Amino acid sequence: MLSVSRSAKSIQNVLKRFKIKSTLVRNCRMVAFAGHTSVFPGAKAAFVSQPVFVMPKDIESIPIYRVLDRDGKIQDLTQDPNLSKETVQKMFRDMILLNTMDKILYESQRQGRISFYMTNFGEEASHIGSAAALEIRDVIYGQYREAGVLVWRGFSIEQFIDQCYGNEADVGKGKQMPVHYGSKDLNFITISSPLATQMPQAVGAAYAMKRRKNNDACVVCYFGEGAASEGDAHAAFNFAATLHCPVILFCRNNGFAISTPAHEQYKGDGIAGRGPGYGIATIRVDGTDVFAVYNAMKLCREYVLKESKPAVLEAMAYRVGHHSTSDDSTAYRSSAEIEVWNSVEHPISKLKNYMVKRNWFNEAEENEFVKDIRKRVLKQISISEKKLKPNWKELFTDVYNDVPLHLQEQMNELKRNIEENKSYYPVKNFKV
Ligand SMILES: Cc1ncc(C[n+]2csc(CCOP(=O)(O)OP(=O)(O)O)c2C)c(N)n1
Ligand SMILES: [Mg+2]
């Protein structure tokens, strides 16, 4: 009944294809049942006569695709995206704009002028590289640390700062905490920070899109490696795979979920390692390399639209800033470690080195650009903080088409309370 047979060979081939190391291949050598493959509806695989564990260490890690080295040199010229000087300059300047705005808004929170802030330091290339590879009609579901995608799409400094100050000009009318941006015009769904809630929503949106005639847009769902531990992440991966949804599941693996380091967050091969398990095409990239992210994202976009199937992209980077203004990361990591990622491994430094090599970098002009951005951001802060807050009634509107009875009652109660206690409410700061 047992023999070294063609099916034994095919097991070896399968194992090889999935890069399972030879120890395991050896174990399986003479244990296949001749000509027997599974007829179970749930799995198509060969039978073996010995119980064999597939150990995590037997499967090679998914490699990290990289184009630029630290010095800004393209290692394999076939991978040069051949972007024009103008495009590379826009990428660079958008990364600088985001980085500069982050520094000032972070400080503005420390001064008590806004309630909260989150920086994007170290992840600029993941945002800009991925956004540059998309079309504006592609719909974005973000987590909260993807402001660079909005920068690329044209969200203005004024819009960013009005949102952080929650004033009457804020698109969200002050309903959300700072950095919870949204823009209908830019196809960027408003952030909701209970982790991973955006993931099944994104997959659902992609499913709806695929049902449109001649669909030519996809959905991109950004999420952190910490959020990927939520049950919603599983639901999203599985629905995306089984319903063949044109969605790019973009994991920003920045090494931390607040103070939890990645090695305590999961024990497998990151988030990319999960993709094939769900039956999803998967790619892992160096998220500090804007060209690698760009090329991989282009590939994903083409794939999800052509095949009408999902793709997982894991961008490896390092969260250089604290988690948020409510965190002090020096309590759980060393300043020396941060410094490496804030200098030679920083995505802006790598792109700058590339531009210098190509003679596309003009020190004086770039310094002037940073100065100008600083001026614009500071000026906008002084304007945005003087704008009135939205009418307090906005608290109750825009969620339901018609304000339901229980909210009307709460609105009337608040109205009464404000009238009776006017001196305790800063009513003069609110739009009437
Ligand atoms: C359901 C839920 N649980 C906990 C939190 C609190 N929380 C906010 S951010 C965060 C860490 C998320 O880490 P990650 O997904 O890696 O994203 P990153 O902040 O690194 O960009 C946690 C635990 C939350 N917002 N929602
Ligand atoms: Mg993280």
Please work out whether the CB of residue 254 comes within 6 Å of at least one atom of ligand 1.
yes
Give, using CA atoms, the residue closest to atom 13 of ligand 1.
257
Q: What is the pLDDT of residue 27?
A: 46
Average pLDDT per 10 consecutive residues for the chain, totaling 432 residues: 43 53 45 70 92 94 97 98 98 98 98 97 98 98 98 98 98 95 98 97 98 97 98 98 98 98 98 98 98 98 98 98 97 97 98 98 97 98 97 92 96 96 92 92
Q: How far apart are CA 129 and CA 300, in angstroms?
A: 13
Cα 257 to averaged position of ligand 2 atoms, centre (Å) = 4
Atom of ligand 1 nearest to the CA of 324: 19
Atom of ligand 1 nearest to the CA of 118: 19
Q: Let me know if 107 is a catalytic residue.
A: yes
Please work out whether the CB of residue 350 comes within 6 Å of at least one atom of ligand 1.
no
Please work out whether the CB of residue 199 comes within 6 Å of at least one atom of ligand 1.
no
* Token duo for residue 388: 């009135």
Q: What is the pLDDT of residue 38?
A: 81
Please work out whether the CB of residue 284 comes within 6 Å of at least one atom of ligand 1.
no
pTM score of the predicted model = 0.92
Q: What is the pLDDT of residue 34?
A: 59
Q: Let me know if 324 is a catalytic residue.
A: yes
Atom of ligand 1 nearest to the CA of 257: 13
Q: Let me know if 323 is a catalytic residue.
A: yes
Sorted by sequence, the CB contacts under 8 Å of residue 271 that are 6+ apart come out as 225, 228, 251, 253, 312, 314
Q: What is the pLDDT of residue 13?
A: 58
Q: What is the pLDDT of residue 32?
A: 57
Please work out whether the CB of residue 323 comes within 6 Å of at least one atom of ligand 1.
yes
Q: What is the pLDDT of residue 12?
A: 56
Q: Which of 108, 324, 329, 384 is catalytic?
A: 324
Q: Which of 192, 193, 229, 308 is catalytic?
A: 193
